[in-house]
Amino acid sequence: MVRVHGDTGHCWHGMHCAAVLGAAQATSTAPLLRAQLLGAARHTMATNLLHVPKPQGLLRPLVVPERLLLGPGPSNVPPRILAAGGRQLLGHMHPEVLQVMDEIKAGIQYAFQTQNRLTLAISGTGHCAMEAALLNLLEHGDTALVAVNGIWGQRAADIARRLGAVVRELWKPPGEYFTPQDIEEGLVRHKPLVLFITHGESSTGVLQPLEGLGELCHRHGCLLLVDAVASLGGAPIFMDQQEIDVLYSGSQKVLNAPPGSAPISFSERAREKILRRKTQPLSFYLDMGWLANYWGCDGEPRRYHHTAPINSFFSLREGLAMLAELGLESSWERHRANCAQLCQGLRDLGLELFVKEEKARLPTITTVRVPKGYDWKEITAFLMENHAIEIAGGLGPSAGKVLRIGLMGCNSTSSNVDRVLHGLRDALRHCHRSRL
Amino acid sequence: MVRVHGDTGHCWHGMHCAAVLGAAQATSTAPLLRAQLLGAARHTMATNLLHVPKPQGLLRPLVVPERLLLGPGPSNVPPRILAAGGRQLLGHMHPEVLQVMDEIKAGIQYAFQTQNRLTLAISGTGHCAMEAALLNLLEHGDTALVAVNGIWGQRAADIARRLGAVVRELWKPPGEYFTPQDIEEGLVRHKPLVLFITHGESSTGVLQPLEGLGELCHRHGCLLLVDAVASLGGAPIFMDQQEIDVLYSGSQKVLNAPPGSAPISFSERAREKILRRKTQPLSFYLDMGWLANYWGCDGEPRRYHHTAPINSFFSLREGLAMLAELGLESSWERHRANCAQLCQGLRDLGLELFVKEEKARLPTITTVRVPKGYDWKEITAFLMENHAIEIAGGLGPSAGKVLRIGLMGCNSTSSNVDRVLHGLRDALRHCHRSRL
């Protein structure tokens, strides 16, 4: 028999009230509270105890309209991945979950093209993986060189400063990328322990060439940390061959899983730096020593660390499985081809691409200058209201300057290119030009 | 037309290869990599570039067996909450998502019985909320007093130490709780800025009485931080009336949502301490200034902070909605009644409850001593294999000493009590007694 009171103002009393009362009597509880507790125990209406009533908004149904998410992420989630995230829970130490975690590791190793044993998913979103990367590598006083050509470099610099690192910055205007010469000058000048650089700068639409940077960093005694949140699966990256030391991404871009978990991997060089730390990482939740154990990366029996987001892992597994089934090369080619079609269509509309050089354009997120005399907010609002399509304005240094159109994973299709171009044409026709 | 290669070993080349090659030629790339890139550009099979093959495990279907999760959490998720988590994504700044976040805030305010404006959900699991609480309150050199009578105090002390706080500990043996006298002695002796205490000690099964502690702390100029991960919704707690300054919980216990988001709230006193900080919090991801803005708690226009786990928020909203529909008092009474039935059943089996005093027993998680001559691992494995029921052994200071049985939210039913008692009776009959 389940003995649950209905929600009809029944008196709530008995054991707990007695316990509450006992404790209240035993201590110097504030008089008001004490009187209330006494009152409850004396069989007044229990609802007197509840000063905060039931919220009415929560008693109405959840509203989730269908939209085509062609912003910089999250992107739409295919039914197979939604279904995986909607499966019943298992415990975070059950063998089937450990098996799923092993499969995620293998999927990340494939997506990153790495054989690193320290490969796993962070229990948080992409930003959380950025913190995990920086806080495990950096100790107070370590020098970090951060390549800033958009918001992600700014964020990495902010995080590294909070950790007590000495932060040096290399700057490029939004829309540009760093050459190996730029990087080498920075390495020579600042002698950093870590270089942070963004592969897919989603705020500006720049794809940073990575070739040679790993070798360059290692020649100067520096570790190479790469943010591939927006690019992974959409543009080639070869962690081992390119000698990248720490690489991370997010679940909600090309992998088409909901946000909530984030792939990350550390090279042996990075792993050794972590092992040589003099101080513990400033976070327990993101301590790579504990996470390596929980993810079976250290050869030791797995111990409880935290309750992982199990069904986010189920979704991430399916996202990685779909990428493996399609194949990395096919995925890269899909993103290249649809991005090319989009760029041509945008030019045909008379719009100007923000990133000048074709080879430096991120295939997953295309930036286009806000056309003269238009308000970007009107354009994005028009697309949302009239076409149920999300595109975004700029972010950080590109705010107000650009529109951003994302084509990621299952959203990177020729028909979505047609839909967004059709919507944009409509928006340009209807949105009022300013009088300036 | 979607131009995606099939997964049949097609050559991958063109624009990207050319870009990769250009960069490789321009820099001092390692000879091996350069030869590979040149090879690819010369129309060899593109799969030569991929040194890590597709993982076979990922190409098989996801396996998720159905189990009754009667451990210390996560607990089973009702179909309505699973369905919410399986809804299509929206953007993290869409008005419908901001509305869901507002509803979550109101739901947490009800569940916590607080009117604090700084109330929100952390984008991580319960441990992450523990870090968020400590790292926003504490600065380097601040003194934290941690009440340790199980694993959660130990964890909080570890986290506070990593943050550079001066950590003092109050100890009680596992299974016991702190009296106001214990706390007052600690406050007088150590003059802490923050007291950490666990309401529902899930490793030992203790329910800590909180009455009077807030008033006591404030009399001594200290903030009261309470971990209610395992107890929220299962035992009475009144954040405002009990003068709790920071309270947090998890999604995966009584709220029956998957792990991945964690309710938290700060009193005005705690908020002022945060505003008075001399240094930035050590984490950007968990910086309460940014989070307060993203959650609309500061009256300012909301700015992008991080991509939140949208569908975890959908699930959490439904978990909070179901608690509001049932009503807090009914939920407390449900947990009380089913826990009492379980305790009686365990005694009838000849087992000994770990927590002596009835009023100090956590209604959500019951601990029972491992019966003499039995191996706890055999008992939990037997229940899993033969009854598809998860119960757990001890954790931290209770490891090896106890079995833990959780009845949380929808799992707290009289029929589940019958099922687990039936399974345990079976286990005691079949598991070999040791020869010691």
Nearest to A359 by CA among A236, A214, A255: A236
Q: Which of residues 406-435 of A touch B (CB under 8 A)?
A: 413-415
Whether the CB of B197 is below 8 Å from some CB of chain A: the reply is: no
| DSSP count for chain B of H helices, then E strands | 14, 14
Selecting from B88, B283, B306 the residue whose C-beta is nearest the C-beta of A162 gives B283
A184 has which bridge partners? none
Q: Under an 8 A CB cutoff, do A127 and B53 touch?
A: no
Name the average pLDDT for chain B.
91
pLDDT in tens, A170-201: 999 999 999 999 999 999 999 999 999 999 99
**Closest chain A C-alpha to B429 CA, distance in angstroms:** 24
Whether the CB of A386 is below 8 Å from some CB of chain B: the reply is: no
Instruction: Decide if pLDDT at A77 tops 80.
Output: yes
pLDDT in tens, A384-435: 999 999 999 999 999 999 999 999 999 999 999 999 999 999 999 999 775 4
pLDDT in tens, A336-375: 999 999 999 999 999 999 999 999 999 999 999 999 999 9
Q: H or E segment at B144? A: strand B143-148
Positions at the binding site of B for substrate: 404
Report d(CA B53, CA B47) in Å as an integer: 9
Q: Residue B47: pLDDT band by 50, 70, 90 thresholds?
A: low
| Whole-structure pTM value | 0.90
Specify the higher pLDDT residue, B35 or B356: B356
> Averaged over A256-260, what is the pLDDT?
98
Nearest to A107 by CA among A295, A290, A245, A386: A295
> Averaged over A278-292, what is the pLDDT?
98
Instruction: Decide if pLDDT at B378 tops 60.
Output: yes
Report the pLDDT value the prediction gives residue B49, as an integer from 0 to 100.
85
Q: H or E segment at B104? A: helix B95-112
A248 has which bridge partners? A227, A264
**Which among A58, A294, A355 is the top mutation candidate for probing chain B, defined by the most B β-carbons within 10 Å of its own β-carbon?**
A58
Report d(CA A222, CA A197) in Å as an integer: 13
ipTM: 0.90
pLDDT in tens, B61-87: 999 999 999 999 999 999 999 999 999
pLDDT in tens, B325-351: 999 999 999 999 999 999 999 999 999
Report the pLDDT value the prediction gives residue A51, as an integer from 0 to 100.
94
Q: Residue B6: pLDDT band by 50, 70, 90 thresholds?
A: very low
C-alpha distances in angstroms, A101 versus A119, A273, A346, B251? 10, 25, 41, 21
> Averaged over B306-334, what is the pLDDT?
98
β-pairing verdict for B206-207 and B200-201: antiparallel
Q: H or E segment at A108? A: helix A95-112
Specify the higher pLDDT residue, B289 or A48: B289
Whether the CB of A253 is below 8 Å from some CB of chain B: the reply is: no
Q: Under an 8 A CB cutoff, do A330 and B22 touch?
A: no
Report the pLDDT value the prediction gives residue A75, as an integer from 0 to 100.
97
Q: Residue A49: pLDDT band by 50, 70, 90 thresholds?
A: confident
**Which among A155, A333, A342, A413 is the top mutation candidate for probing chain B, defined by the most B β-carbons within 10 Å of its own β-carbon?**
A333
Instruction: Give buried/exposed letters for A324-333 (b at 16+ CB in 10 A, else e).
Output: bebbbbbbbb
Name the average pLDDT for chain A.
91
Selecting from A100, A252, A318 the residue whose C-beta is nearest the C-beta of B307 gives A252
Return the minimum-mean-pLDDT range out of A140-154, A166-180, B13-27: B13-27
Selecting from A86, A211, A325 the residue whose C-beta is nearest the C-beta of B7 gives A325
- Cβ contact A126:A249 at 8 Å: yes
Q: Which residues of A touch B66 (CB under 8 A)?
A: 88
- Cβ contact B231:B72 at 8 Å: no
Q: Under an 8 A CB cutoff, do B395 and A304 touch?
A: yes
B262 has which bridge partners? B122
